[in-house]
Amino acid sequence: MMLSSRSETGLRAVLVLLGAITTLPVVALVHVGILDWNYGVADPDPMTQALLQHRGMLQLLLGAAIVWSAFYPPVRLAAALAAVVGKSTFLALILPNAAIRGDLSPLSIWFDLACIVVLGVLAARLIVRGRHATAS
């Protein structure tokens, strides 16, 4: 996707910000208390703790891919699609269930929704531009 240098700089800043925030659940690996703030899980049983810590590691990997895509455009589509699918799946599992939805940080819900929109638009533009480039 060819952008002006100003647009490319802005896109990079957005991708770095979204990627960096996406990585934050990894803190659960070293500070289990974050699970209470982020997910409303104050004293998790060992399996729940392990699963949420593993989710933190997966979020680290996803966030790193988004940041990488800021500086290496060939991975932008894959990183954007992975984030849209992952974050959409998480919200689809959480939002319909009022019992667990109330425990999730509203900031987390809004951030994931914003990522889905921004990265979804980016992915759609990359797909359309890719089709135009191959048709030319």
Quick: pLDDT tens for 21-65. Answer: 999 999 999 998 888 887 888 888 999 999 999 999 999 999 999
At 12, is the pLDDT very low, low, confident or very high (cuts 50, 70, 90)? Answer: very high
Q: Is the dihedral of CA 47, 48, 53, 59 positive or negative?
A: positive
Higher pLDDT, 59 or 136: 59
Cα 133 to Cα 37: distance, rounded to the nearest angstrom: 46
Element housing 45 (H / E): none
pLDDT at 76 over 90: yes
HSE-CB at 43 with a 13 A cutoff on CA atoms is 0
Q: Is the dihedral of CA 98, 61, 26, 10 positive or negative?
A: negative
pLDDT at 128 over 80: yes
Instruction: Name the residue with tokens 């954007």.
Output: 80
- pTM of the entire predicted model: 0.89
Can you give the pLDDT at residue 2? 63
Mean pLDDT of 95-108: 86
